[in-house]
Amino acid sequence: MVTIKQIADLCGVSRGTVDRVLNKRGNVKAEKRELILQMAKKLNYKPNPAGKALAARKVNPVTAIILPSTGIAFFDDVIDAMEKAAKKYEDYGMRTQWHILQGYNVEEQCRILDELKSQVNAVIINPINDSRLAAKLNELIAAGIFVVAINNDLEQAGTHYYVGSDYVNGGRTMGALLKMIGPEQAHIGVILGSLKMLGHRQRLQGLKTAIAATPAYTITEIIEDNDDNIAAFSHTRDMLTAHEDINVLINLSSGGSYGSCRAALSMAPRKFLILVFDTIPTTKDLMEKNVVQAAIYQHPRQQGQKAMQLVFDYLVNGILPDKEKYIMNNEIRILENVQ
């Protein structure tokens, strides 16, 4: 392992000079700069994270976390994992600032980002798909703030990182699973949060792709529940009442899955095959009661943990992520392996 001191000795300069070159702080004669850069490259210099971390304690970098999550069970796990990571990283001098919002509001997210711009070094955000927000994030990125989008990406934004799942694949996986465990003839009722949400639309698209080649499988109706259990309950009841042939229920988002399962139960003795996303507590319960047969798990804890790690590695250790997108696998969970 090469150190700054070794490079300095070999180049006949001081450690300070090497540091200035490697961290692009300027004020070094061009020829020396070249020599040092070449030497560093030749010896494959990699800064020691422990040294960096120790020195970083003097500056105390700050990370803002913006999650519109109150009342969304899926995010409970994300947040819990992030809090654990934050505690660990605090020992290294990294501070966190939490903004847990209620619902999705573009103006609010923009306003918070404006306030933060001058105070923080990094932002982890679950962004709304909106061009105004993208513009705001671009401002922060231009100002040198490290941005990580979690669980939903914003393609329009500039250089940033994404941690989340592959929604299209999630829908496809669910569709493929349905074909394996479903009845011969499937009349499918689909419930999702909102067609305005890119992720939900993508899951629907994946699901349609998966069953496209199976004529016996048709989607009878698609309803939106705005991730609300009460709305999910009544709309699902309406749908099931209107379509006596529906024998499969698919929940493409977990916000209202409990409500819609309760609606299915209320139609007894009618029986349904029910598949959902996420293994939130209510879903585990419904699995035990044999109401929900399977769920797609999106690794919420890993998502939170990875987002925090990317920020830490960058701010404290000076290491850039090796990928732009970190995509979690869509796992199939049934009662036996749901944990």
Q: Quick one: 140 or 163, whose CB is closer to a copy of itself?
A: 163
Across the beta sheet with 62-68, what order do the strands follow?
95-101, 62-68, 122-125, 146-150, 161-165, 325-328
Taking CB under 8 A as the rule, does residue 53 contact a copy of itself? yes
**Is residue 165 a contact partner of residue 142, using CB atoms and an 8 Å limit?**
no
Q: Quick one: 22 or 327, whose CB is closer to DNA?
A: 22
Spell out the residues 6+ positions from residue 151 whose beta carbon is closer than 8 angstroms to its own: 78, 126, 163, 164, 165, 199, 303
Among 25, 42, 57, 325, contact with a copy of itself (rule: CB under 8 A): 57
Q: Which token pair is 187?
A: 């009349």
Contact partner at residue 124 from a copy of itself, DNA, none, CB < 5 to 8 Å by partner kind: none
| Residue 194 burial (10 A CB sphere; 0-12, 13-18, 19+) | middle
Taking CB under 8 A as the rule, does residue 293 contact a copy of itself? yes
Taking CB under 8 A as the rule, does residue 331 contact a copy of itself? yes
Contact partner at residue 181 from DNA, a copy of itself, none, CB < 5 to 8 Å by partner kind: a copy of itself
Taking CB under 8 A as the rule, does residue 129 contact a copy of itself? no
State the amino acid at position 3 in one-letter form.
T
* Smallest distance, a copy of itself to C-beta of residue 188, A: 17
Among 6, 97, 129, 169, contact with a copy of itself (rule: CB under 8 A): 169
Q: Quick one: 221 or 331, whose CB is closer to a copy of itself?
A: 331
In 67-215, which ranges are continuous DSSP H helix? 73-90, 106-116, 131-142, 167-181, 198-211
Q: Quick one: 129 or 309, whose CB is closer to a copy of itself?
A: 309
Taking CB under 8 A as the rule, does residue 92 contact a copy of itself? yes
Give, in order, the Cα–Cα distances in Å from 323 to each of 125, 293, 319.
18, 35, 12
State the amino acid at position 125 in one-letter form.
I
Binding site for DNA (CB under 7 A): 1, 3-5, 12-17, 19-20, 22-23, 25-29, 32, 47-48, 50-52, 54-59, 318
Q: Quick one: 116 or 315, whose CB is closer to a copy of itself?
A: 315
